[in-house]
Amino acid sequence: MNAYTEKIRELSSNLLREGKVDLVIGFKQGTVPMATVPAIARTPEEAATFVWDANCSLNLANYLTNRTEKIGIIAKGCDSRNIVNHIVENKISREQLYIIGVPCTGMVDKPSIRALFDLEITQFKEEGETLLVKTLENELKIDKQDYLRANCRTCMHRNPVIHDVLVAEPVVEQTLEDPFKDVKAIEQMDDDQRWNHFETLLDGCIRCYACRNACPLCYCPTCFVDESNPQWVGKGQDPSDVRTFHFLRAYHCAGRCTDCGACEEACPMDIRVRDFTRKLVKDSLEIYGWEAGLTLDQRPPLDTFKPDDPDAFIK
């Protein structure tokens, strides 16, 4: 058992035993190697099944929306930013939460690790920055930093921005000369190239809505794709409907997306869904100096109004 898992189990069990929370949201081991699943513990015994490793990449803030209980939650940097979003957007109150912060060293990109082997992976073990991966016929030791998810490679908020306790000392934050090289590469395409890029990107989309369901920002009571009166978008696989879903969902996340990567993690077709939202993350920073989910004391730029706004529509 690694030190993070041991501390998470201890803190979660104590919270439940002392009655400080009604439940704790964390991760437990999945049924196959490299799989963890979100889990809710209501007893110290259930909390003793929690785990933490480089596969705990889904965003647990997704499970906070409109809950009424007193909740403990395990939160790495991106989870904590979406917890801030939830509080700012009045989906839960700070007083309801006890946040167990996890200084994060990055989550692994499972498809790229699976691609190293011809056979199914039978064992995955994390030893510091080294990953031990086995199949029935061979095994490899690989450097974790070489197999981080794309969003973790550009993350500059690995430590929780809000917490009640940390399971370990904060980690050193990354400093990047240019965190938006990927977005600029798309911006530099001409119109036809950019259109083809997104057309190709969506070739495999089956509209399962896994990206939407995994996103902690997608909590509307009725999503626009599910509306029938009026029906904003068709239900089938017509390319225009597929494009409409992805483009509108991305704009709905403008100024709110923390680039947690939950959408890509959930996609069964390995579509780089972040290609839609990264541009909006970049524009929010460059136009408004805004990074989502860093503070409880400031409203997001797209839900504020200033009488002296220079744009003509105000006048």
Write down the pLDDT at residue 305. Answer: 76
Contact in structure between 108 and 142 (CB atoms under 8 Å): no
Mean pLDDT per block of 10 residues along the chain (315 residues) reads 92 97 97 94 97 95 95 98 96 97 95 92 92 92 95 96 97 92 95 95 93 93 86 86 93 94 93 94 93 93 78 61
**Between the CA of residue 130 and those of 167, 206, 238, what are the distances in Å?**
21, 35, 44
Write down the pLDDT at residue 314. Answer: 57
Residue 212, judged by CB atoms within 10 A of its CB (0-12, 13-18, 19+), counts as buried
Domain regions of the chain by residue span: 3-109+148-288
* pLDDT per residue as tens digits for the range 130-168: 999 999 989 999 999 999 999 999 999 999 999 999 999
Write down the pLDDT at residue 315. Answer: 53
* pLDDT per residue as tens digits for the range 74-125: 999 999 999 999 999 999 999 999 999 999 999 999 999 999 999 999 999 9
